[in-house]
Structure 1
Amino acid sequence: MGLAKKRHLSILPPEELPGTKAYTVLRAARKIFFMHGFSAATTDMIQREAGVSKSTVYAYYANKEALFVAVVQAECWAFQETIRAIKFSPGKLRETLSALAHTYLDIVLSEPGSYLYRIIVAEGIRFPALASTFYMAGPHVIAAMVAEHLASAVTSGEVDLGDVELDEAANVFVNLVRSEPQLLYLTHPDAAPSSQQIDRWVKVVIDTFMRAYGCSCYRIS
């Protein structure tokens, strides 16, 4: 794969509404964590960025760890909403898988997605609870959504998973999708795969997946 301009994905608002102090603090925390990482970031930095008093920060978030968990949950919530908007239509599994793959790559190749992933990998050994929070709120939920689509595809007769569990097949698909494009972006942080390269990769992934699990009338030769 070659390299192209990197992508951006806007964060959607968390439970705290935009305009509230809690939201202001969370946006400031997001900026500081993404800029400095978890270990180097401090609540003093976040307080100054938010333009509020330290007591205001602690009124909403007990400590730096709680702030980071809130940032992770807000980012993952935003990511989940884009996946959740994709609906399955019987007979159109390929179209559904293509939409899921492209949307998921938009997430992992976005600046927020890559920043968050880098922080989690860097801090996971020292703060396993933070890494677990990310996994359960992000990749685990995404795979569960894919599994729901695959369950519908089993019902419509488009796939036959045999003795493979739905969650196992979903994880196979999700990991195939993000593998090479994400690795390329992580090792070339100033660029991302082009749209043409992503289109090609998604086709290869779906063809591979359907050869393995697609029922005869839906497989490619």
Structure 2
Amino acid sequence: MFASPTRRDESRAARQAAIIAIARRNFLDHGYAATSMSTIAGKLGGSKGTLWAYFPSKEALFAAVLDDVTEAFRAQLYDALRPGRDCRTTLLDFARRFSEKLLSPDAVSLYRLVIGEGGRFPEIGRLFDDRGPAQVKARLATYLEREMAAGHFRRADPFRAAQHLIQLIQIRHNTQLWGSAGPLPAEERERDAQDAVDLFHRAYAPD
């Protein structure tokens, strides 16, 4: 049996959540390089020593922020890939949720951060990929492999197939990252999702 959390455990968890919330806004608003442990400690209202007791490095804190940002996103996408529905309905649900999340303000800020600072801090690119894109791609590949085995798609490398579908869904993502286009209307997002799934089905139609 698992012991119930004590008040001390609950207090520590609340403190950690507060640290992550402050760090999340600082990283997304100001970038990785411009965010320091001292700044976060000051906004938290405690000493830097207290902050280090929770997170031994800025990299560890950034990893916790990535987990916080991507956890709900991954859960939504995994729910879209649940069994029991036809593959077109499932992939369309996945495409809609994926597109909506990619074009959200926090997601755009996070992508800009990783792209803009990944050259100087390659560790943040690895952390981001491990906690976000790589996990989503692996789960989608597992689903597609199962559908290929059932004869709904032609046999192919499921990881490459997953990457192809993801790239089709991301077709408008760059314009958001560049700031060259405003938010997409709902009807355009829906059309893009439909197009991505249609093109994928044609490319991977059973032999």
Normalised-by-shorter TM-score class: 0.7 to 0.9
TM-score, length-scaled by structure 1: 0.82
Percent identity of equivalent pairs? 27
Compute the displacement of 1:39 (Å).
0.7
1:214 and 2:205 aligned: yes
1:28 and 2:22 aligned: yes
Query: What is the CA–CA distance in structure 1 between the aligned matches of 2:144 and 2:57, rounded to whole Å?
Result: 40
- The residue correspondences of 1:102-117 to structure 2 (distance < 5 A) are 102-117=96-111
| Structure 2, unaligned runs of 5 or more | 1-9
Question: Structure 1 pair 18/157, CA: closer, same or farther in 2 (3 Å)?
Answer: farther
* Two-structure CA RMSD over aligned residues (Å): 2.0
- The residue correspondences of 1:65-144 to structure 2 (distance < 5 A) are 65-86=59-80, 87-89=82-84, 92-144=86-138
1:188 and 2:179 aligned: yes
- Structure having the larger proportion of residues in helix: 2
Query: What is the CA–CA distance in structure 2 between the aligned matches of 1:73 and 1:151, rounded to whole Å?
Result: 26
Equivalent position of 1:177 in the other structure: 169
Query: What is the CA–CA distance in structure 2 between the aligned matches of 1:200 and 1:117, rounded to whole Å?
Result: 24
TM-score, length-scaled by structure 2: 0.87
Match of 2:46 among 49, 52, 60: 52
- The residue correspondences of 1:6-25 to structure 2 (distance < 5 A) are 20-25=14-19
Bigger relative CO (Cα 8 Å, ≥ 6 apart) = 1
Compute the displacement of 1:190 (Å).
7.5
| Structure 1, unaligned runs of 5 or more | 1-15, 217-221
Query: What is the CA–CA distance in structure 1 between the aligned matches of 2:25 and 2:38, rounded to whole Å?
Result: 13
Query: What is the CA–CA distance in structure 1 between the aligned matches of 2:21 and 2:45, rounded to whole Å?
Result: 11
